[in-house]
């Protein structure tokens, strides 16, 4: 019996739980929230679609009762305040750090072997906090951001080319932030053919810029953070763990020498299987991409320093 816990029954958490259920990723999905009755209502709403959608996964909701999460294979952490228009992910660090640390500690009491997928913003520092403050091995702590950012890149590429998004491949590495992510358009392909065969350098630059502000664009349109793609990206990542799919996904990963970095968690392509992060893939970056990754590293380290200054690590 496979079991996934989703902490936080807001838009992203509930969407993730719904996609997990509809795709029958896990036998049991527990949705937990601190707001009385909130997760119970979301779980009931999802389960009332079971006959309509034809799935057999069971979704239950509980209010702040971590005993119900016992034996989870994966714990998804979406808790914390969402972004509001004009707010950066980094501005959330003070509030969300305490929430994320408390959530992971509570979940570990009942699921000591779980893999943790961190979604709460700012995502890379929150995942870094989880590794550093709780001493978890790096394979068990995964930042979701790269999966979402890469999906957004593929969307913008498919729109520019005028093709099916499922036939486009592309990676976004670096920090999960509007100015720190690096869309690798040079390496993107359409049916195995470089996208540069279909799009001009100027158009590819437009695609890269649209990808980088993809989250901020939606926040401006919606008045709050997006949730459909983030929830689906999280489910996609969890499925590769639960089903041991060995997919290559860009994830926030604690690096131990790869890409010349240590003591930092940042987005790079990795192989995701039953043990979480099973292998780090080192790309052959050109000088421009290396420079951008170095700048992203510096920005992420600056945000991480706030955690140290707050004595959270």
Tens digits of residue pLDDT in 58-68: 999 999 999 99
Name the residues annotated as catalytic.
Answer: 176
pLDDT reported for residue 69: 98
pTM attached to this predicted model: 0.95
> Does the annotation list 120 as a binding residue?
yes
> Does the annotation list 98 as a binding residue?
no
Res. 87 pLDDT band, cuts 50 70 90: low
The three-state (H, E, C) secondary structure of the chain, written as one string: CCEEEEECCCHHHHHHHHHHHHCCCCCEEEEEECCCCHHHHHHHHHHCCHHHHCCCCEEEEEECCHHHHCCCCEEEECCCCCCCCCCCHHHHHHHHHHHHHHHHHHHHHHCCCCEEEECCCCHHHHHHHHHHHHCCCHHHEEECHHHHHHHHHHHHHHHHHCCCHHHEECCEEECCCCCCEEECHHHCEECCEEHHHCCCHHHHHHHHHHHHCHHHHHHHHHCCCCCHHHHHHHHHHHHHHHCCCCEEEEEEEEEECHHHCEEEEEEEEEEEECCEEEEECCCCCCHHHHHHHHHHHHHHHHHHHHHHHCCCC
> Does the annotation list 23 as a binding residue?
no
pLDDT reported for residue 312: 79
> Does the annotation list 96 as a binding residue?
yes
pLDDT above 90 coverage of the chain, percent: 90
> Does the annotation list 13 as a binding residue?
yes
- Per-residue pLDDT of 149-161, as tens digits, reads 999 999 999 999 9
- Per-residue pLDDT of 93-127, as tens digits, reads 878 998 999 999 999 999 999 999 999 988 999 99
pLDDT reported for residue 89: 59
pLDDT reported for residue 94: 77
pLDDT reported for residue 313: 82
> Does the annotation list 8 as a binding residue?
yes
> Does the annotation list 83 as a binding residue?
yes
pLDDT reported for residue 88: 67
């Amino acid at each position: 019996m496979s079991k996934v816990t989703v902490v936080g029954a807001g838009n992203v958490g509930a969407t993730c739980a719904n996609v997990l259920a509809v795709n029958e990723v896990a036998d049991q999905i527990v949705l937990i929230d601190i707001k009385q009755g909130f997760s119970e209502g979301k779980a009931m709403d999802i389960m009332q679609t079971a006959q309509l959608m034809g799935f057999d996964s069971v979704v239950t909701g509980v209010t702040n009762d971590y005993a119900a999460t016992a034996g989870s294979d994966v714990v998804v952490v979406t808790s914390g305040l969402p972004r509001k228009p004009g707010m950066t992910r980094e501005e959330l660090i003070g509030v969300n750090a305490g929430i994320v640390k408390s959530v992971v500690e509570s979940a570990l009491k009942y699921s000591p072997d779980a893999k943790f997928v961190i979604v709460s913003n700012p995502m890379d520092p929150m995942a870094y906090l989880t590794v550093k403050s709780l001493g978890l091995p790096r394979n068990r702590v995964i930042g979701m951001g790269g999966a979402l950012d890469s999906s957004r890149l593929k969307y913008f590429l498919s729109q520019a080319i005028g093709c099916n998004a499922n036939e486009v491949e592309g990676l976004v590495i670096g920090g999960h932030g509007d100015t720190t992510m690096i869309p690798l358009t040079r390496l993107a392909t359409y049916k195995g053919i470089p996208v540069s065969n279909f799009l001009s350098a100027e158009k590819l630059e437009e695609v890269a810029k649209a990808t980088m502000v993809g989250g901020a664009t939606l926040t401006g349109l919606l008045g709050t953070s997006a949730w459909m793609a983030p929830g689906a990206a999280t489910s996609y990542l969890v499925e590769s763990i639960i089903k041991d799919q060995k997919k290559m996904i860009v994830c926030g990963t604690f690096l131990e020498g790869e890409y010349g970095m240590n003591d930092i968690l940042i987005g790079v392509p990795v192989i995701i299987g039953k043990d979480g992060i099973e292998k780090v893939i080192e790309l052959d970056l050109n000088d421009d991409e290396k420079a951008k990754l170095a700048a992203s590293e510096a920005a992420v380290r600056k945000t991480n320093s706030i955690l140290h200054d707050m004595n959270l690590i």
